[in-house]
Structures are given as C-alpha cells and as structure tokens.
Structure 1
Amino acid sequence: MNALRLAWILCWFLSGVAVAAPLKIYGMESAPISFLSSGQPDGFAVELARAIQTRLGQHDAIEIVPWARANTLAVAAPGVMLLSIVRTAERARTMHFVGPIFNTRVTAFASKGKAAEWRQRQVDLRTLRGGARRGSIFVTLPREQGYQIVDETNTSETAAKMLMNGRFDLWFDGEELYVDALRLAGFRDSDVEVAFRLDLVGVHFAFSNGTSADIIRDWAQALRAMKRDGSFLKIYRKWLAPHQMPADVALQH
C-alpha cells in the first residue's frame, strides 16, 4: 500500500467516518429459491434480495455456494447473510432472522407406487430409511418426529438420485424444490409421489452474529415495506405457489 493511500485511509478513521464492511451474501444451488443460471445467481430469494439492495443503495455481491460452506461462514464470522434458511431455536443462538420470505412444507417423497404398497402392508413409516440434504430442516425435523434419516447428501439433486436408485425409501425435502432436483438428476416429477407431509415452516433471510444491527434493521424495514406496497407480491408470484406465501403478505392482499 503506497503512502498516499495509507494517509487517505487514516484521514477517514481519524475524522470519525466509519467505512462500512461489505456484506457477504450466500445462497445455495436450490432452484427456484436460489441457483445459478448461465453462471449468474437467480431465483426468488436472489431477486428479492436484489430488490432490497436497490432500496437501500447497496451493491454487495450474491454468491451461490455449497450449503455446508455458507452455513459454516455464517456461524464463524460477522457480516454474512444467508438467503434462505428456516428459523430454529438452535440457529437463533448464532444468527439473526429477517422474514419470513416464504413457507416450506417438509415433505416425504417416495418412488411412484411405494406409498400404496406400504399402506397395504401396514408398514410403520418411521422404520423406513430416509435421506435429506445435510444440515437442513429436512434432516432435523423428521428426526425430531422419529423418522430415520440414514443418509445426508450435499444437494437435493443427489438425494433425488439416491431415492430413485433405492439407496433409501423416503426423501425429505421441500415441495418447491423437488421438481428441479429430479430434473437435474435425470428424472421426472411423475417418477415420485408424496408419501406424507410434516410441518409447514417459515423460511427467512439470516444474518450472522456480529453483523451490524443497522444492516439487519434496514433489511427488515425494507422487507416490511415491500410486503405492504405490493412489490414483494409481484416477485413472489413469479416464483412460488400461493400456499407458500407468508401470512403477513396474505392478510394484506
């Protein structure tokens, strides 16, 4: 760093003007919520986040990375934002949530025809082998309710492949995610069926501990304003089904 640049930076600090650190924003490959399209981030949460950035005059980059990496960064460092995550009591100890931005139904999928076979045989579904994306609510919630998660995968696409290849019997995921996961895995949505549904849970933006309280407040205020003025609804309808709409939007429109 040359002397002139160093002197300029020192002048900023000595004058009491804070230099805002960039916000590191991460989504995962999980269409239609966040994904790469022609090498660029796209999806519902991406478009919503960019609309909020425009309102706030912010331009921080959005990256699509593996879920495990994003989650690790959010736990370890301040100034990290995750585009879509379910709020839980455990996560609330290390993150601050803004939302909800949509609801997801934790759903168990099976290969076509399996559910009828299990009903006929009176199979206890909690004895079946299950699989889901590692570190997600689709692992933790079924386990809390007594279902057997024997495999955790890096992506929903891998989970879809493992279900269709008979590696496990039940694939737990969100109903907004399974169609694209199957397509990427080389299958059709008609190749699977809903075996049963568990809870409907809210999905939020999440900020790591130590992130500026002003940043979190500004994002929360901007999201509330978008829900009131209809701009949230316009983006939402482009990507998701009506039954996944947050209650505070549905009540206003």
Structure 2
Amino acid sequence: MIDRTPAKGVSLFSLLLLPLLLGRVPVLEAHESLELLMPDAPPLTMVNQGDRHGIVGDVVLRALKKAGYASELRTLPWARAQKYALEKDSVLLAPLSRTPEREDRYTWIAPIMQMDRAFFSLEHKVSTFDEARQRFKTIAVGLGSAQEEILRSKGFAPEQIYPIKIGENPAQLLLKGRVDAWFNGVQESRYIWQRVSSRPLLMSPPMVSHELYLACSKVCDAEVVTDVAKAIEAMRRDGYIEKVKDRYLNNDPLDKTGSL
C-alpha cells in the first residue's frame, strides 16, 4: 500500500504554498491579452497617430487598462473585422453601432457616444430619405458600416449605394464628382472634410442616430464584459469621455503624456 502521509519535515503549509510558488493558481494568473479591432476612422478611431487613438479608441484603451486587461490592437477592413469577431470568441470591436441587424450577433459591452448620420453633398441639401432617394444617383458609404445597412433598409436601390473603404475616400469621391452624396456620421464627416477641402459642404438634418458601442464576440468572457463596462461607466461619470470628445472635435491635441 502506498503511504500518502506527507513526508516528515514537510509541513501542510508548505504543500499548500507549493502551487503558488510554481505560479499555478488560476485565480492569480494575469489576464490574457484581448484582441481589439478598430478601423482607421478619425476622429472616432485612429491607428497610426502614436498615442492618439481617437475619441472611442482613447476611451476603450483606457477602460481596458483600468480594468486590468492588456490589449492587442489590430486593424482590418471593417466588414472583415465584423466577420472575424463573429467567428471567434472574446474579440473586441469598436466603434460598432448597435443596429437591429446586429443586435443578436454581438455582445454589447457599453455605449461610448452617440452618432448622428446625415447626407452630405456639394450641390443639394435634402431633408428626408425619400428626397435623397429621388435626388442622388450614387451615395458613398463606408463598406460594412451601419450607413450601408441603413440605406438598404430604407429602400435605396443597390446601384445607388457606393460602398467604399472607411476613411477619407468617400470625401475624395465627392470632391471629384464621382458620387452625388455621402451618407455618414456627422462628427466624422466634418472632421475629415476640413482636412481635404475648403469648399462648402451641404448637410441634411440628422436622419438617424445610434449609440456607438464597444462590442465583443457573441461568446465573450463574462468577466471581461462586466469589468470593462464598469470602467467605461466610471469614465462617463467623472467626465473623462466628454473631455476626450471636446479635445478631438475642437482640434486641441492631447499633451505628450496623453493626460487631459
């Protein structure tokens, strides 16, 4: 018979301490790095501006850090990024509009800011979706964006919708006369336009509004969801999110430390 009594001179305390010394106590292990997918869509998210990551990017990265999670920032074409998160577990996406079409596909961690969407044109100012559908032959939208979903749901013909990679390209197409209008977020469009042209840009009234969220794969670690949501809510209460919005939208860059 095998003697399972602890050897003489080895205390029970030492046996209990051994797993800790070997680093094998799961509750004390460091969090794994989380994949965070963001498009390059200033001023909401930025991926090539050093420590500046845009309004949503700065908020999300700070929230992850405050919650104790390391993150691996990646940039993919936005339609591909959404598909990637659908196929994987615990992949973060920001910013993602919480639309009816997306509601059951993702885990919605926390809202960051509201985004109004409008039509932009150099020649015509429309007031309704019906007017836009009759007036504009081609409308640029971000590929894989909520704007693309919205126009399809409002009955715009496929040939009227011109999806293109998210970024400055739609503004350039409008300038060159290759599209009649641009349907996009108000804050983002104004930010981009003032960097590409001084021509007056005609804007419709806001046509639709959604909250921009930090989202996650449908299967997402519950602890991550709770911890990061709490961190974002704390940043909302202490005014940090509004300060970040003011800095980017007023073109007042953060200092070298990234403080506000």
State how many pairs are aligned: 223
| Higher fraction of strand | 1
Cα gap change, 1:50 to 1:38, in 2 (>3 Å) = closer
Q: CA deviation at 1:35?
A: 1.2
Identify unmatched segments of 5+ residues in structure 1: 1-7, 242-253
Matched, 1:213 2:222: yes
Matched residue, 2:98: 87
> 1:200, 1:16 → 2: CA distance?
43
Q: 2:61 aligns with which of 50, 63, 71?
A: 50
CA deviations on 1:185-222 (whole Å, 9 max, x unpaired) are x433x342114431121111101122201101111111
Cα gap change, 1:219 to 1:240, in 2 (>3 Å) = farther
Calculate the TM-score normalised by the size of structure 1: 0.77
Residue 78 of structure 1 aligns to a residue whose secondary structure is coil
Matched, 1:76 2:83: no
CA deviations on 1:60-92 (whole Å, 9 max, x unpaired) are 132333312321211110121112010022212
- Aligned 8 A contact 2:120 2:201 in 1: yes
CA deviations on 1:77-114 (whole Å, 9 max, x unpaired) are 01211120100222122211123211111110011x33
Cα gap change, 1:158 to 1:231, in 2 (>3 Å) = closer
Q: CA deviation at 1:19?
A: 6.9
Matched residue, 1:202: 211
Percent of pairs with identical residues:
22
- Aligned 8 A contact 1:26 1:70 in 2: yes
Matched residue, 1:134: 143
Q: CA RMSD in A?
A: 2.7
CA deviations on 1:122-141 (whole Å, 9 max, x unpaired) are x9431222220111111111
Matched residue, 2:197: 187
> 2:131, 2:190 → 1: CA distance?
27
> 2:124, 2:116 → 1: CA distance?
20
Matched, 1:237 2:246: yes
| Higher fraction of helix | 1
Identify unmatched segments of 5+ residues in structure 2: 1-18, 251-260
Residue 57 of structure 1 aligns to a residue whose secondary structure is coil
Cα gap change, 1:228 to 1:179, in 2 (>3 Å) = closer
The structure with the larger Rg is 2
> 1:36, 1:212 → 2: CA distance?
25
Calculate the TM-score normalised by the size of structure 2: 0.75
